[in-house]
Structure 1
Amino acid sequence: MASGKLIKLIVFELLEFAAFSVPTLVVMEQFATAYQTTRNVSEPTHYWLIVSCSIAYVASVTLLIWVPIKVILYKKRHLYKKITGWRPVLMMCVVLTTLPSFSFSIAVTEVQKNINGSADLLPDALPDLPVSLVLLSLILVDIIEKIRIYPLRGSEESNEDGHIHTTSLQQIKTVTEQVRQNEVSPASPQRANPIQVSRPLGAVTQRHVPVLVGPQEPSFDSGILRTMSRRDVRAEVFLWSFLLWSDTVEMLRVAGHSAVYKSGWLYPVYIFSFISLLRIIFTPKNPLLNSLGILLQDLPFVFVRLSLIIVLGTITPILGLCKNILVTLSYVYFNYLTKLRVFSTFEASPF
């Protein structure tokens, strides 16, 4: 009977391969349908030719790139440990799946314009299935790569809670040991330092560090509230993996608006949405991830959303624009401007 680790490995690899291959096949099939309609012929020759090319593409990149890299990562663990700060599996998905899918999604729109002869005869909205499938597949691979290190059975405490608990115990133990040491072995005259250094009257003998006091968090030890307050890092992986890309999802939803895809604004929306997805290549705890989030998503989205609102009206939410502006300004202020002398004074909240 197969072990649990082997079953987990097989299921994860099959899911990742499905997320790697299915979006390209679906988008290419949609492109083949639109192109076949432009031919105005009954024979589906062009349709099956494009579908065959898509199958050949997926088979080629699978056999030449996906499978060899997967085998190397699984067999050569010492090489895998040398990879720092980025994830090869997500890079393959972004470059070999997401990029072709976005390109052919734009091609489908251009083909539909040729079918109708005018952009005014296009449907009011583009189908949401291809774009949602591409993003869902990318998020699915991201979740699998994050949750791979955790067991799927049994309880798992949050690392953050464990770190806080361990740190608090260490601090309490250190303070207790110092107090007991001072009480048990007081300083004797023989061990006292005979040299006394005189200090000026204005010298500061103790540095007062301001204490940051926040709202008190509740803790529940029993009852239904304890059950509701449970936290598991594996469940939070699913939550934050979807919330992380909500801004990109909203931007791609705007691309399906008739005023966007009937005009040239479709290209910058897709281009900057793809650029924002490049962050998924980096590891979740990469120190560069915050700055890359500003440079690859929030800052470009400010200009794209502001331009769309000025030219086409409020087809993109004002809340999204405010989010991008506030996140960008807060990052610059707290990370760089507070280092200047004018903003360097530390102020603790009185509450």
Structure 2
Amino acid sequence: MVSGKSIKLLVYEILEFAAFSIPTLMVTEQFASAFQGTKNSTEKTCYWLIVSISIAYVALVTLIVWIPVKILLYKKHRLCSRIKKWRPPLMMCIVFTTLPCFGFSIAVTEVQKNASNTSALPDTLPDLPVSVVLASLIIVDIIEKLRKYPLRERPPKNEDSYIHTKHLQQVKTVTEQVKSSEENNVAPQPAKRSPFGSGILKAMSQQDKRAEIFLSSFIMWSDTTEMLRVSGHSAVFKSGWLYPVYIFSYISLLRIIVTPQQSFMSSLGVFLQDFPFMFVRISLIANLGTITPILGLLKNILVTLSYFYFNYLTSFRVFTTNERTSF
């Protein structure tokens, strides 16, 4: 009888392979349709040729890269134990799926712009291909994070440090502490039970790492999603601004290769996303108007400034004071 662990592994691998192959086929089909639309002929020879090449590409990469790497990861446990700072499945998706998808997305607009009837360009580009590409990366990211957790039962306490129910301790004032020191013969009073320890508030205070994985994975790429949404604006894809938007959006995705527990993940978020996005958004607003939200620019500026200030500037003597927090 097939065990639950084998079923979970099979489902994970099917989902990861679907996320690896479907975006390329979908974006390539969009390019084939755009290229066929520039032809006056009713024959679809070019359309099916491009689609066939995309299928052959996915099959070739699967046989040469995806399957051998997966076999090595499951057969060579010693090799898998050494890979602790980066994730091979995410790297394969970034290199062999996301990169060609972004390239074909740019090629779609270039083919339509170079056609004889340039007025046929739409006002906005369809959002589905970009959403599928990002969703595929998020799915693989979630699966790689969920592998060490069970799905049908609660994980052990030592693996899920986020599941806890704490009672708030009663904080004593200075006067109470002095009085308690003078009256050593008085037995200490037990801490009052917090309202969060029972009832509906106790149920709402429970936190599971597995549920937080889904939330954090989607929030992590909200800024990149918004930047790629801007690329669908007619003022962007009809001009040369389409290239920097896609290039820096792709660069921001590279940090997904690194394992989440690495201490330099916050630095990668600043240097690969917030810092370059800040200049891209400033340039877009200066040249094309507020086609990108001001809130996104504000987020990039505040995150970048706070990172450099608290990590580097506060170490200088001029910023060192005797400031203490008080309540």
**1:249 matches 2:248:** no
C-alpha distance in 2 between matches for 1:303 and 1:290: 19
Mapping 1:221-236, distance limit 5 Å: 221-236=197-212
C-alpha distance in 2 between matches for 1:5 and 1:94: 27
Match of 1:47 in 2: 47
Q: CA deviation at 1:116?
A: 5.3
Match of 2:160 in 1: 159
C-alpha distance in 1 between matches for 2:74 and 2:86: 16
C-alpha distance in 2 between matches for 1:138 and 1:92: 10
Kindly indicate whether the alpha-carbon contact (under 8 Å) linking 2:87 and 2:258 is maintained by their aligned counterparts in 1.
Answer: yes
Match of 2:141 in 1: 142
Match of 1:330 in 2: 306
* Counterpart selection for 1:296 from 259, 262, 272: 272
SS of alignment partner, residue 149 of structure 2: coil
- What TM-score does the superposition give when structure 2 sets the normalisation length? 0.88
> CA separation of 1:276/1:219 partners in 2, compared to 1, >3 Å: closer, same or farther?
farther
Mapping 1:79-158, distance limit 5 Å: 79-115=79-115, 117-118=117-118, 120-156=119-155
SS of alignment partner, residue 30 of structure 2: helix
C-alpha distance in 1 between matches for 2:94 and 2:215: 21
Q: CA deviation at 1:153?
A: 1.1
Match of 1:76 in 2: 76
Larger radius of gyration: 1
In the alignment, structure 1 segments of 5+ residues that lack a partner are 169-217
SS of alignment partner, residue 197 of structure 2: coil
**1:320 matches 2:296:** yes
RMSD across aligned C-alpha pairs, in angstroms?
Answer: 1.8
SS of alignment partner, residue 155 of structure 1: coil
Match of 2:32 in 1: 32
Identity %: 67
Match of 2:176 in 1: none
> CA separation of 1:71/1:134 partners in 2, compared to 1, >3 Å: closer, same or farther?
same
Amino acid at match of 1:112: Q
Match of 1:204 in 2: none
Match of 2:242 in 1: 266
SS of alignment partner, residue 17 of structure 2: helix
1:73-116 Cα deviation digits (max 9, x unpaired): 00101001111311111000000000000000000111122335
Match of 1:66 in 2: 66
Kindly indicate whether the alpha-carbon contact (under 8 Å) linking 2:196 and 2:205 is maintained by their aligned counterparts in 1.
Answer: yes
Match of 1:173 in 2: none
C-alpha distance in 2 between matches for 1:159 and 1:347: 36
Q: CA deviation at 1:117?
A: 3.1
Kindly indicate whether the alpha-carbon contact (under 8 Å) linking 2:28 and 2:50 is maintained by their aligned counterparts in 1.
Answer: yes
Q: CA deviation at 1:159?
A: 3.4
Kindly indicate whether the alpha-carbon contact (under 8 Å) linking 1:37 and 1:115 is maintained by their aligned counterparts in 2.
Answer: no
> CA separation of 1:83/1:163 partners in 2, compared to 1, >3 Å: closer, same or farther?
farther
- What TM-score does the superposition give when structure 1 sets the normalisation length? 0.82
C-alpha distance in 1 between matches for 2:18 and 2:259: 22
